[in-house]
Structure 1
Amino acid sequence: MPQINAERWRAVETLVDHFCETDQVPAIALQAMVEGTSRCYRKGRQRVNDEREPLREDAIFLVASITKPFVVLGVLNLLEAGELLLGDRVKRFIPEFGCSGKHGITVRHLMTHTSGLPDMLPNNRELRSANAPLSEFVKQICQLTPDEPPGRIVQYQSAGIAILAEVIQRVSDLSCAEYLKQALFEPLEMHDTSLGVPDEWSTGNQPKIDRITEIRIPEELNIEPHWDWNSSYWRGFGAPWGGLFTTPSDLANLVEMLQQGGRYQHKQVFSARTIEEATRNQLNDIPGLSKSARQGKGWGLGWQIVTAANSDYYGDLLSPTAYGHGGATGTLLWIDPQLKASAIILTTQPQEPHGRFLARISNTIVATIEQ
């Protein structure tokens, strides 16, 4: 039975200590799970420039793009309820989306980053600096012309995830944040998780908002007073492509569900077939996608399939069956079915251009596993 070697685990803690004590990373919280057993470790400070406040045991992190597979799971919940199909054209649910070359874009295209849409709107920075609402982002994405026709290229696109969130809203008549709360967070007992910071997190004697870690903003992004990830605007915005707030222990509940084929505790949250489809490489099944377009890439439904080409986050030791997602705020979640292992690494230091600390931590975690 696979297990974590206690002596080798010290190397993980030593590396995390080194990153934090040399100020390469302000804070790191991680949780590694192998065959039902887990190891947790945390180091650093709650605020970037305040050495007096160490990282809280109950710290909440903005996990950036790890948000994306949650939105996809929300849409898959609608699929299981018979509300839509992966092959449905998006314009079926959002009529105004079906223009400027987007007529043929399907739900599957958006989930697998093959829609041809760009990652962000051309004026993304200006919209955020102006504190534009999510509805304005969706409106402008609906007016975009794709870079390529759907199903021709694999191009990471936050814009497509924003549209999936709009599909959730139009089909369920609930905001994406509320739908995810009811369909995912509550069944998975993720009580410290929310898409965007809700008002109730600012109330009470011990408001949850005080538990949110501060992110160190890279100099190249620190140009507008209300633009950054720490601003009240961005915290409340609830970006479907990057606005999830959560903890390692909450994410561990999600991991348990995925590893158990959709089952969490005594509840079947998703069918095993849905999870199997979401976590296998879908790119081979997309008509029109050339071999060269697929080469070195892998996408399930919302989940990235780990390959040598994307090891900057995942490291070098995961098996070909591994999948996960990273976040621009310096976060990573991966699951390796072959190793029967998973890891959650949440930090407050964006991965690029400051180094490959997430991959180094991942390698060190994998090296602790005894088969």
Structure 2
Amino acid sequence: MSRIHPARWQTVEQLVDQYCESGQVPAIALQVITGETTCHYRQGRQSVEDDNGTLRDDAIFLVASITKPIVVLGVLKLLEQGELLLNDRVKQYIPEFGCAGKHGITIRHLMTHTSGLPDMLPNNRELRSAQASLSEFVRQICELTPDEPPGRIVQYQSTGIAILGELIQRITGKSAPQYLRDELFQPLEMQDTSLGVPPEWSKGGAARLERLVEIHVPPELNVEPHWDWNSPYWRGFGAPWGGLFTTPADLGKLVGMLQQQGLVLDQRLFSAQTIRQATRDQLPEIPGLSETARQGKGWGLGWQIVTRAKSEYYGDLLSDQAYGHGGATGTVLWIDPQLDAAAIILTTEPQEPHGRYLARLSNAIVAAIEV
């Protein structure tokens, strides 16, 4: 059973202190799980410009694209209930999606980033600046022409995850935020987690709104006062591709379920086989996807498979069994079954495209693990 070496863990804490005290990263919160031991550490500021402000113990982070595999888990819950098949065409559930070369796109294509869809709508920035609704994003995605036919390329696509959120609503009659709350967050007792900030978070004496950590917005993205990650519009938007608010402790509960192959406190939330399928590389089995197209890449169902060629965010030391996901707000979650360990690193410094702070922290964390 793995454990954390105390002296080596000090190196992790020193690295966090260095990044925060130098101003390179406004805030960092860690949770590392090894065997039956959990280590926590946090440092930095609740607000970017408040030099005297200390990061709260109960701080809530916007984790950006870590949202994606969680939405996929919601769809896999529907699969277990017999509501759909991975090779079903999306147009079966969302008829207006089946146009402009998207007829053959399946649910599996959306989950594995092999649909051929672009990452974002070409007018993504204009839509956000106009405070467009999620339904307007979905409508325009349904009109898109893919860059390539489905199953030909591996191309990261937030647009495809948006359609999975719509799929949840079409099948269940519930919004994706409500469905995830009912089927995932409540069973896992993730009390401080929501897809988008719900109205009830602004109520009560200990309003969760006060616990939201401010993201540092780079100058190139700071184009409209109501556009950025910290705006009321985006906080309430609930993007299926990147709108999840949560804490390291709550994500740790999700990680525990995945490590236990679907078990939560001796109750089965997912079958072990569903978790195995979600966390293994699916790309070799996508018909029409060449070896060249998938070279250096790996995708399960929503989860990224860590490969030697794809070490951004994850560092250089994880095993070939590791999987996880990163987020554009400066976040990463990884699980390594070979190490019997997992890490949640939440920051407020966007680190596209290389995750330089996240990768260095991941290396230091793995170096502190004794198997």
Other-structure match for 1:219: 219
Q: C-alpha distance in 2, partners of 1:329/1:6?
A: 29
Other-structure match for 1:147: 147
Which amino acid is the alignment partner of residue 245 of structure 1? F
Other-structure match for 1:243: 243
Q: C-alpha distance in 2, partners of 1:291/1:285?
A: 11
CA 1:281 to 1:354, structure 2 compared with 1: closer, same or farther past 3 Å? closer
Q: Can you list the C-alpha shifts for 1:50-72, whole angstroms capped at 9, x where unaligned?
A: 02220000000000000000110
Please give the residue correspondences for 1:342-353 in structure 2 after superposition, counting only pairs within 5 Å: 342-352=342-352
- Taking structure 1 as the reference length, what is the TM-score of the superposition? 0.99
Assess if the C-alpha contact under 8 Å between 2:46 and 2:53 holds in 1: yes
Q: C-alpha distance in 2, partners of 1:205/1:3?
A: 39
Q: C-alpha distance in 2, partners of 1:82/1:177?
A: 21
Other-structure match for 1:22: 22
Displacement of 1:308 in angstroms is: 1.8
Q: Can you list the C-alpha shifts for 1:234-288, whole angstroms capped at 9, x where unaligned?
A: 0000000000000000000000000001001121000000000000000000010
Other-structure match for 1:255: 255
Q: C-alpha distance in 2, partners of 1:76/1:47?
A: 37
Other-structure match for 2:161: 161
Other-structure match for 2:84: 84
Which amino acid is the alignment partner of residue 254 of structure 1? L
Other-structure match for 1:111: 111
Other-structure match for 2:173: 173
Displacement of 1:354 in angstroms is: 8.4
Q: Can you list the C-alpha shifts for 1:64-100, whole angstroms capped at 9, x where unaligned?
A: 0000001100000000000000000000000000000
Q: C-alpha distance in 1, partners of 2:294/2:355?
A: 27
CA 1:355 to 1:99, structure 2 compared with 1: closer, same or farther past 3 Å? closer
SS in 2 for 1:46: coil
Which amino acid is the alignment partner of residue 42 of structure 2? R
Q: C-alpha distance in 1, partners of 2:64/2:210?
A: 19
SS in 1 for 2:162: helix
Q: C-alpha distance in 2, partners of 1:295/1:156?
A: 14
Which amino acid is the alignment partner of residue 344 of structure 1? I
SS in 1 for 2:241: coil
CA 1:146 to 1:353, structure 2 compared with 1: closer, same or farther past 3 Å? closer
Other-structure match for 1:233: 233
Other-structure match for 1:280: 280
Q: C-alpha distance in 1, partners of 2:240/2:142?
A: 16
Q: C-alpha distance in 2, partners of 1:45/1:36?
A: 30
Other-structure match for 1:325: 325
Displacement of 1:226 in angstroms is: 0.7
Q: C-alpha distance in 1, partners of 2:48/2:179?
A: 33
Q: C-alpha distance in 1, partners of 2:24/2:310?
A: 22
Displacement of 1:159 in angstroms is: 0.1
Which amino acid is the alignment partner of residue 102 of structure 1? K
Q: C-alpha distance in 2, partners of 1:98/1:301?
A: 22
Q: C-alpha distance in 2, partners of 1:257/1:326?
A: 19
Which amino acid is the alignment partner of residue 36 of structure 1? E
Q: C-alpha distance in 1, partners of 2:22/2:110?
A: 40
Displacement of 1:355 in angstroms is: 5.9
- Taking structure 2 as the reference length, what is the TM-score of the superposition? 0.99
Taking only the aligned residue pairs, the percentage that are identical comes to 72
RMSD: 0.8
Please give the residue correspondences for 1:196-207 in structure 2 after superposition, counting only pairs within 5 Å: 196-207=196-207
Which amino acid is the alignment partner of residue 296 of structure 2? G
Which amino acid is the alignment partner of residue 235 of structure 2? R
- Unaligned ranges ≥5, structure 2: none
Q: C-alpha distance in 1, partners of 2:126/2:101?
A: 25
Which amino acid is the alignment partner of residue 94 of structure 2? I
1:8 aligns with 2:8: yes
